[in-house]
Amino acid sequence: MNKANNLAHSIDEEIQEGKNQKNGKSGFKAKFEKAAASITRATGSSSAFLIAIAVILVWALTGPIFHYSDTWQLVINTGTTIITFLMVFIIQQSQNKDSLAIQLKLNELIACDERASNRLIDVEDLTQEELELLKKFYIRLSELAEKEKDLFSSHSVDEATGQHRHKIELRRRVK
């Protein structure tokens, strides 16, 4: 138990240090993270979409002025290619951060339920074959619940069959 307390204290200290460093962050990584969040919010807005439509319309309307030249076409091709290339990195950074936040929230839900299997906490690190095996397990649980016409069944990876039988027995006692 003392090891668990030491680990929790150590993690709390690291989190606090991270918060203190965050307030004083000025490196490229911190600036990129802040810029990526701002750019993702801005480019995901309806205003950004309308601006993009306006740019395309202006470009299309200038076609006759420039006699639909190769240079005229090159302007839009180059511009969209550069923006697309840069947005890939911005969007990926935002997705990585969001994905990590969701994983941590799900881990918290698993960790706080005594019946949930803690094996699932790092499920994102499993191989494709291991994930397929877990998927088969959950399909089997779904079949058991469907067989019993029970939408509220819940099982852990380790105790699925026993938990299912226990729930069936409890329902029989209530009836």
* pLDDT tens-digit readout, 121-151: 888 888 999 999 989 988 888 887 777 765 5
* Tokens matching residue 175: 């009836």
- Report long-range pairs for 138-145 (Cβ below 8 Å, ≥24 apart): none
Give CA–CA dist 21/8, Å, rounded: 20
pLDDT at 73: 96
**What is the tens place of the pLDDT at every residue in 15-46?**
777 666 655 567 999 899 999 999 999 999 99
Give the chain's mean pLDDT.
83
pLDDT at 11: 73
Q: Which amino acid is at 150?
A: D
* Tokens matching residue 151: 């939408």
Say which residue the tokens 């150590």 belong to. Answer: 10
pTM tops 0.75: no
Per-residue CA distances from 143 to 81, 83, 103, 135, 157 (Å): 48, 48, 26, 12, 15
pLDDT at 24: 55
Residue 80 has pLDDT above 90, yes or no: yes
Mean pLDDT across 50-75: 96
Q: How many CB atoms lie within 10 A of CB 45?
A: 11
**b/e map of 102-133 (b: 16 or more CB within 10 Å)?**
eeeeebeebeeeeebbeebbebeeeeeeeeee
Q: What percent of the chain has pLDDT over 90?
A: 47
- CA Rg value for the chain: 26
